[in-house]
């Protein structure tokens, strides 16, 4: 579904990613973990066309998409849930969803709003409210709902549980598991490593711009000690 090969990304003189290669197979939940500044968001931005990498390639469903813009990737079924739940604070909940569905026909857009409001009933209740009034957990649900508007094949989620109360973290990960059961493939960035590994099929560990380890479910226990030093548990 996704193959990243030799990806290097820079911000001016800062090299944020060095020669990173990873892949996500269809139907998998793959988790990317690592401490602050490891380059996780940079990787998400490079894959979704928000940042042009200095070197390397991104392939999606067998095609080289390295130079494609985000809207074209969205049309092809690759959606991002950005970090810090970026939503339009001045637009209503419903308007946020309409804008997110800009690449689909207006009839489909209406249908999908109904679908996502079934998944997240609170968004239906607050549909006419400016999104800036939502709580952190509700805003995160809206950020995920926006990504779902295009019925993506592959979703990249950047720290979906950041700043959420434990009960809401659980809700978000239940949703991740449910999306996978519905056939959606996901690459999830998380600092909440243990929670993420509960639902992940495989995981990569990123540190100062390099991939330092890779693990499948059977190896996750081996990572416990590393978590203490890398991500403070
Ligand atoms: P966090 O968990 O804090 O979000 P991260 O793993 O997502 O961290 P990135 O945000 O990708 O890490 O940052 C990787 C490196 O690139 C860091 O050293 C960061 O300071 C730097 N960086 C990120 N964005 C920019 C930018 N716009 N301009 C300059 N440097 C940047």
Condensed to tens digits (0 to 9), the pLDDT of residues 167-217 reads 888 888 888 888 888 889 999 998 777 777 888 899 999 999 999 989 887
Residue 228's pLDDT is: 64
| Residues in the chain, overall count | 233
Residue 128's pLDDT is: 96
Q: What is the pLDDT of residues 64-108, one digit of tens each?
A: 999 899 989 988 999 998 887 789 999 999 999 999 988 888 888
Strands (E) in the chain, as ranges, are 2-11, 14-24, 29-33, 55-60, 63-64, 78-81, 154-158, 185-190, 202-207, 210-216
Residue 54's pLDDT is: 95
Q: What is the pLDDT of residues 38-68, one digit of tens each?
A: 999 999 999 999 999 999 999 999 999 998 9
Q: Is the pLDDT of residue 27 over 90?
A: yes
User: 14 CA distance to ligand 1 centroid (A)?
Assistant: 9
d(C-alpha 172, C-alpha 197), whole Å: 14
Ligand 1 pocket, residue 27 CB under 6 Å: no
Residue 233's pLDDT is: 45
CA–CA–CA angle 152, 158, 160 (5° rounding):
90
d(C-alpha 194, C-alpha 220), whole Å: 9
Whole-model pTM?
Answer: 0.89
Mutate to test the pocket of ligand 1, among 8, 10, 16, 212 (most ligand atoms within 8 A of CB): 16
- Work out the percent of the chain whose per-residue pLDDT is above 70: 96
- Point out the ligand 1 atom lying closest to the alpha carbon of residue 43: 11
Q: Is the pLDDT of residue 152 over 70?
A: yes
Residue 169's pLDDT is: 83
């Amino acid at each position: 579904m996704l193959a990243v090969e030799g990806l290097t990304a820079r911000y001016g003189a800062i090299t944020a990613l060095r020669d990173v290669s990873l892949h996500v197979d269809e139907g998998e939940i793959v988790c990317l973990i690592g401490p602050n500044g490891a380059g996780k968001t940079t990787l998400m931005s490079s894959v979704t066309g928000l940042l042009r990498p200095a070197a390397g390639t991104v392939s999606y469903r067998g095609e080289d998409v390295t130079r494609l813009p985000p809207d074209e990737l969205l049309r092809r079924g690759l959606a991002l849930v950005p970090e810090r739940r970026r939503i339009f604070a001045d637009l209503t909940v419903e308007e946020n969803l309409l804008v997110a569905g800009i690449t689909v026909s207006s009839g489909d857009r209406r249908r999908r709003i109904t679908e996502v409001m079934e998944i997240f009933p609170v968004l239906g209740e607050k549909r006419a409210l400016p999104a800036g009034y939502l709580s952190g957990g509700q805003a995160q649900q809206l950020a995920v709902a926006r990504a779902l508007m295009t019925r993506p094949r592959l979703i990249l989620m950047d720290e979906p549980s950041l700043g959420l109360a434990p009960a809401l973290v659980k809700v978000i990960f239940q949703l991740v598991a449910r999306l996978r059961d519905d056939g959606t493939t996901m690459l999830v960035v998380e600092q909440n490593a243990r929670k993420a590994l509960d639902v992940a099929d495989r995981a990569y560990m990123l540190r100062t711009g390099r991939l330092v380890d890779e693990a499948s479910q059977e190896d996750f226990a081996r990572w416990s000690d590393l978590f203490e030093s890398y991500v403070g548990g």
